Structure 1
Amino acid sequence: MTVADDGALTRRQAELLDQLEELFLAEGFVGFTLEDLAVRLHCSKSTLYALAGSKEQLAHRVIRHFFRKATTAVEAQTVTESDPARRVTAYLSAVARALAPAGAAFHRDLDAFGPGRETYERNTALAADRVRELIADGVAQGRFREVHPALVADTVTTLMLRIGRGETARATGLDDATAYRELAALLLHGITV
């Protein structure tokens, strides 16, 4: 059976992928069978098999789809800012908004699912690289004090991973979106001239 890539999806397949994303973000994905998903989405299991060859492959595909969409949305919300401080704030705020629909069950399942955890960690590392670039740009423009952008980005990555694993929520009681806003405020107060 051939599995379509995201560029070659039919309109119905694209809708199903979005519906699966919404469902997984709200309720997690480990507890579902393909039969459960077919019933919830009012489609056949063969329709789901056209998206992926197994439940695990489907979960991984939906996770990649979510992070691809989130990355695009975050960059779109950041690109219009020219001020370095506002750009960093816009970036981290956009990350918070993109992750806000992801509930505790999704994060728990993501952490327990190796391919999903790897996708999350890879996207978090890319986000930290982007933060490093934004900070380096601000330092070069004289808007941020001289800091070591890679160290700051590594610190941001560590907290982003803790937020994604639910550790920050357990330690502080903050939801993910609030934790990202607080991270942006802390970061900017620490590096702004």
Structure 2
Amino acid sequence: MSAHATARRAELFDQLVALFLTDGFAHLTLDAIAARLRCSKSTLYTLADSKDALVEAATVHFFRDATDQVETALIGVTDNRITAYLTAVGAALRPASEQFMTDLDSLAPARAVYEKNTAIAARRVQQLISEDSDLPERAAVFAGDVAASTMVRIQSRDVVHRTGLGDADAYLELARLLTGLRS
């Protein structure tokens, strides 16, 4: 693939992610997506062989970029890394509309991408708690487990349904809870 084709492909994925984050995707047909991106359906088929595969690929693209943003936000941070990490997770999820999050939960391949990224983030939070807290080892492991459980509940939409907190805000509240911050 040429550099131009690779750049065009990345640009299309960026546009696709922006569209999905704003409007969701369940109601969009491939024709509607092509029209919104001002490309042909055959161009979309160069990205994926079906709408579901396109959504999954866009979801992977979104979470790859989000992971890069979150890890970049930690560079040079020496104090309150747990807060910095969870705040960055919340910021990365902020552009995602409620419709996107609902649609994401309804499509198994896309939900699996979110679940995988949540599991990775939960392990990262557990690592940060173990490294950065003054808690005894057992308490740090427990706090990490509580954080991981909460992150799974955020991802599974349980938190938004029970509290009204969207994913981005829930991550900020989790940071406050774990670090004893006041609002």
Report the TM-score when normalising by structure 1. 0.85
Counterpart in the other structure of 2:34 = 38
Sort the Cα spacing of 1:107 and 1:165 in 2 relative to 1 into closer, same or farther, 3 A: farther
1:5-55 deviation digits (Å, cap 9, x = unpaired): xx9952222111001101111111121111111111110011111111111
Q: Size of the alignment, in residue pairs?
A: 179
Structure 2 unaligned residues grouped into runs of 5+: none
- 1:97 and 2:88 matched: no
Q: CA deviation at 1:79?
A: 2.2
CA RMSD of aligned residues (A): 2.0
CA distance in 2, matches of 1:107, 1:150: 29
8 Å CA contact 1:24, 1:106 repeated in 2: yes
Using the aligned pairs only, state the percent identity. Answer: 46
Task: Note the 1:107-186 alignment, pairs <5 A.
Answer: 107-139=101-133, 144-148=134-138, 149-186=140-177
Gaps of 5+ in 1: none
SS of the residue corresponding to residue 77 of structure 1 reads helix
Q: CA deviation at 1:106?
A: 1.1
Once the two structures are superposed, residues 126-167 of structure 1 have per-residue CA deviations (whole angstroms, 9 ceiling, x without a partner) of 00100111111124xxxx221434432332122222223332
Deviation at 1:87, TM superposition (A): 0.7
Aligned-partner residue type, residue 51 of structure 1: L
Aligned to 1:26: 22
TM-score by length of 2: 0.90
Quick one: distance in 1 between partners of 2:148 and 2:129? 14
**2:74–2:84 CA contact under 8 A, matched in 1:** yes
Shift of 1:120: 0.7
Paired letter, 2:135: R
Instruction: Give the conservation status (yes or no) of the 8 Å contact 1:60–1:115.
Output: yes
Partners of 2:135 and 2:75 lie apart in 1 by 22
- For residues 18 and 167 of structure 2, the distance between their equivalents in structure 1, rounded to whole angstroms, comes to 17
Q: 1:93 to 1:8 in 2, by over 3 A?
A: farther
Distance in structure 1 (CA, Å) of the matches to 2:142 and 2:6? 44
Structure 2 residue identity aligned to 1:159 = T
Deviation at 1:173, TM superposition (A): 2.5
